[in-house]
Structure 1
Amino acid sequence: MASTVVSEKRPGYGQLLRTPGALSFLLPGFAARQPFAMLTIGIVLLVQHTTGSYGSAGAVAAVTGVSMALFAPQGGKLADRFGQRAVLLPGVLVHSASVSLLVALALAGAPMWALFLAAVPAGASVPQVGPMVRARWAAILGRTSPGEESAKGLSLLPTAAAFESVTDEFTFVIGPVLATALCTGVHPAAGLIAEASLTLIGGLFFAAQRGTQPPHGLAAGQADAEPHRSALSVPGVRVLAIAFLGIGSVFGGMQVSLTAFSEEIGNPGINGVLYGVFAAGNMLAGVAMGAVAWNIGPRRRLLLGYTGLAITASLLWSVHSAPLLGALGLVVGLFIAPALITGYTIVETLVPASARTEAFTWLTGAVALGQAGAVTVAGQLADAHGASTGFLVPLGGTVLALATLVALRGHLKPRDSGRVTARGIGHRVPVSVD
């Protein structure tokens, strides 16, 4: 079907940031979401230092990723039911303690099974601040008098989705570079110590912002006027979760392979720079996504983003020069943001508000699961056949994700299409449609 041209200019980031209460949760939320950017690379660098094996380092990092993927949606479901604060407060305390234990065990030369045991709670307790921030945006932008919906707020939702992707990617510019610099320039454990500290401080401050917390429990159910069901029961959410595994394969494959590549050429310090360039491309594309009023529908944008991602990721394994790898990594990053932003935008149209945080965490968890599998496989390949073979992992993951989207794109149509609801995530006005 032909695309409908957007009939008004996309609201800007300045207008979004002037939303009452926004800055109160954005600033602490930025610090509290650092685990997703620093945890994996911090573990890889520390465990590789203590064991001498990228395979072992990738395996420990993978355990944290799998744990996060399994527990994150449950945390999102609990946040929808009991409130974000009730989940965050114990979560950040457990996470900081678990990461500290993992550091102590690694430095003491503990056996791998002990590192695996410590990695489970470290991953399971990663605070899902990104999904929580997205849920807060959706709540405050759709907040108006009972039974009505703010057209201005709804028109800002795509801008908010783009802004959140930019923020996520900025953490992936800052986080890996910071973790690498600390691990290589200060102490191999310094990256994880900084990650645990930022999580604790940022998480506590974020949890203290009660005024912007979305409704939860019975209040949210009454606003929805429909019974709660798991977000994963929606076919479109399952399709997007599978697709987001491919994005995770890029993150995980790039982290391990770039680390191995930097060691292979005798310049380990360049690892953070190369990954930062990749994440910078991601962030720049996110900025552009939020500033452009697209005249093609979200499903088509999603397919185009994944097509570009699969094509560029397929070239990584053949590059053996640091400058060329950095340039190609930049291009790969340019296709990550469109895929992420459009996926999060689509999922808002698929689920009711009572399952919103859970839906976001399924996507975040899928990225973590894809990343976990990628660091394991890429680490084994790098150990056995050299750094370049690790880049085959992003190739395989993105191709499978694209094939899934092409085959099952019909499940991504918005729920209750054509009807305006009071939840702020149904039909939007005015937007482009497929």
Structure 2
Amino acid sequence: MFRTRPTSSVLIRSAGLSYFPIAFIARLPFAMMTVGVLTLVVAERGSVTLGGLNSAVAGLGTAIAGPLLGAAADRFGQRRVLVPVGLVNAALLGAFPFVVASTAADAAVLALSVLIGMSAPQVAPMSRTRLMAVIRRSVQRDRREKVLNGTMAYESAADEMVFIVGPFLVGLLAVAIAPWVAIAGASALTFVFVTAFALHPTGRLHPGTDAAATTQAPARELFRFRLPTVVVGTLGVGVFFGATLTSLTGFLAVDGDGDSAGLLYGVMGIGSAVLALGTAALPERFTLKARWLAFGSLLLAAAVIYAFARSGTGLVIALAVLGCGVGPTLVTLYSLGATLSPAGRSATTMTMLNSAVVVGQAVAAAVTGLVVDRLGINAALTGPAVAAAIVVAAGVAHAAARQRVAEPEREPVPA
């Protein structure tokens, strides 16, 4: 009976139908956080520089604390980590509008932004870790790799959609009601849906080392050469996201259309999400290493076109092609991260990758903004190409490392 059911049905049945909408909505506050902080600080304090700095330190706080939260989840289980962290983050988000509107010093606002970032619940990497556990438990060994790739494709597409919907909600609420409403909404969503995600039955599938049947690998296994190359690759993707959105905003702002940047950015985001899902249909002989190099090279070529675009039409064409490259690349990097994760360190690995994207996006947004102001928009448009070059270089280094150690092209999902 088990053997006749499609593996995708087994995964859905094992996780439960309620899991996927809960996990999707629980990611929204994370996507709303940096944009919401930026929008609120600019509106209340009248400083774009201060707003950008608050957004950047929130992202950096997430990058610093993310792997630590992942390690804690590996050690103690997701529920014990996510419930208190989610409640703390909801409270900090709820307090943020009051602090920004008060006479508190800018340093106090920055400190609160750091704490918001550090306490941000790592729902996306935790979801990947849970679904990996479902696959190990419910899917036949000879089909696990295919299901894993399809699952990573779905997770990356969900991330793409969240990072489109989140900023859109922030802008909509800010324009329709007030800038503080977006942060208040993020607080409410965190309190309800992150808690629901933490307490979902799938949380028992990743109980932590104390109850695990296998011994947790030493932390040094996380820093063997191949896994850090994947982290650098995801860092490059984060830099790409930050550089693209900021340079696009700067380009359109020249003609007073900066507010429409989100709409054009959606051209890339939608295409990226669709192609990310499409990677599940790629043949297994198209290995993860080959996918990284192929789609990374496509990303680099499209980024070069983007760098030389001087019209709205040219940008739209470049963004559409960029989406075809970045979505599959991100799926590939997360799939590699899953296969290379040391025993008992899956949550740590996933949060390392997620934090790399966040820190790359935050730093690139800040740096690209300075480039726009000081060197001009043409210089800023080259940023995505630099980021894509990082992605490709990391892929080449990863491929070279695999050849040196003479390992198989693709590793099975750990049992």
Give the whole-Å Cα distance in 2 for the aligned partners of 1:232 and 1:62: 26
Q: Work out which structure has the larger RCO, using CA pairs closer than 8 Å and 6 or more positions apart in sequence.
A: 1
| Structure 2 residues not aligned, in runs of 5+ | none
Aligned counterparts of 1:311 and 1:364: Cα–Cα separation in 2: 25
2:156 pairs with 1:157: no
Deviation, 1:149, is 5.8
Structure 1 range deviating more: 208-217 or 159-168: 208-217
1:198 matched residue in structure 2: 189
Residue of 132, 153, 159 corresponding to 1:168: 159
Q: What CA distance in whole angstroms lies between the structure 2 residues aligned with 1:96 and 1:351?
A: 30
RMSD between aligned alpha carbons? 3.0
Match for 2:287: what amino acid?
Answer: G
Q: Give the letter for the 1:252 counterpart.
A: G
Residue of structure 2 in register with 1:346 after alignment: 336
Q: 1:278 aligns with which of 253, 268, 275?
A: 268
Partner of 1:216: 208
How far has the Cα of 1:301 moved from its partner? 0.7
Paired with 1:16 and 1:256, the residues of 2 have a C-alpha distance of 42
Look up the match of 1:431. none
Helix, strand or coil at the partner of 2:345: helix
Classify 1:321/1:40 alpha carbon distance in 2 versus 1 (closer, same or farther; 3 Å): farther
Aligned to 2:413: 425
Structure 1 CA distance, aligned partners of 2:370 and 2:91? 29
Deviation at 1:33, TM superposition (A): 1.1
- Please tell me whether the aligned partners of residues 16 and 159 of structure 1 are also in contact (alpha carbons under 8 angstroms): no
1:224 is paired with a residue of what secondary structure?
Answer: coil
1:362 aligns with 2:352: yes
Q: 1:132 aligns with which of 119, 126, 133?
A: 126
Aligned twin of 1:407: 397
- Assess if the C-alpha contact under 8 Å between 2:15 and 2:131 holds in 1: no
Partner in structure 1 of residue 52 of structure 2 = 58
Aligned partner of 1:49 in structure 2 is 43
The answer as to whether partners of 1:25 and 1:212 remain within 8 angstroms in 2 is no
CA distance in 2, matches of 1:20, 1:414: 39
Contact 1:180 1:272 in 2 (8 A): no
Residue 231 of structure 1 deviates from its aligned partner by 5.2
Q: Identify the residue that residue 28 of structure 1 maps to in structure 2.
A: 22
Report the TM-score, using the length of structure 1 for normalisation.
0.85
Cα distance in 1 between the residues matched to 2:275 and 2:179: 32
1:411 counterpart letter in structure 2: A
Partner of 2:277: 287
Identity over aligned pairs, percent: 29
Partner residue in 2 for 1:105 = 99
1:408 Cα deviation from its structure 2 partner? 4.0
Which residue among 166, 187, 200 is the counterpart of 2:178?
187
Matched, 1:309 2:299: yes
Shift of 1:212: 4.6
CA distance in 2, matches of 1:32, 1:203: 5
2:344 counterpart SS class: helix
Check 1:196–1:313 CA distance in 2 against 1; reply closer, same or farther (3 A cut).
Answer: farther
**Partners of 2:306 and 2:314 within 8 A in 1:** no
Partner of 2:246: 256
- CA displacement at 1:169 relative to structure 2: 1.1
Kept in 2, the 8 Å contact 1:228–1:354? The answer is no
Which runs of 5 or more structure 1 residues have no equivalent in the other structure?
A: 1-10, 428-434
CA contact (8 A) 1:54 1:382 kept: no
* Equivalent residues of 2:215, 2:343 under 8 A apart: no
Question: 1:57, 1:125 → 2: CA distance?
Answer: 19
Q: Identify the residue that residue 67 of structure 2 maps to in structure 1.
A: 73
- Report the Cα distance in structure 2 between the residues aligned to 1:12 and 1:57, rounded to whole angstroms: 49
Amino acid at match of 1:425: V
Higher helix share: 2
Q: 1:114 aligns with which of 108, 119, 128?
A: 108
* CA–CA distance in structure 1, aligned partners of residues 72 and 259 of structure 2: 41
Amino acid of the structure 1 residue aligned with 2:223: S
Q: Is residue 2:371 matched to residue 1:381?
A: yes
After alignment, is 390-399 or 226-235 more displaced?
Answer: 226-235
| 1:176 to partner: Cα distance | 1.9
Q: Is the 8 A contact 1:184 1:269 kept in 2?
A: no
Q: Which amino acid aligns with 1:105?
A: V
Quote how far apart the aligned CAs of 1:343 are: 0.9
Q: Is the 8 A contact 2:222 2:341 kept in 1?
A: no
- 1:284-336 deviation per Cα after TM superposition (whole angstroms, max 9, x unaligned): 11121123324321111111222222222233344343443233222212211
Higher mean C-alpha displacement, 292-301 vs 318-327: 318-327
Check conservation: 2:11, 2:135, Cα contact below 8 A: no
Query: How far has the Cα of 1:133 moved from its partner?
Result: 0.9
Alignment check: 8 A CA contact 1:305 1:335 kept:
yes
Inter-partner Cα distance in structure 2 for 1:26 and 1:231: 31
The separation in 2 between residues aligned to 1:193 and 1:330, in whole angstroms, is: 34
Q: What one-letter code is carried by the residue in structure 2 that aligns with 1:288? A: G
Deviations 1:178-217 (A, max 9, x none): 2222223332233323222222221011011134531312
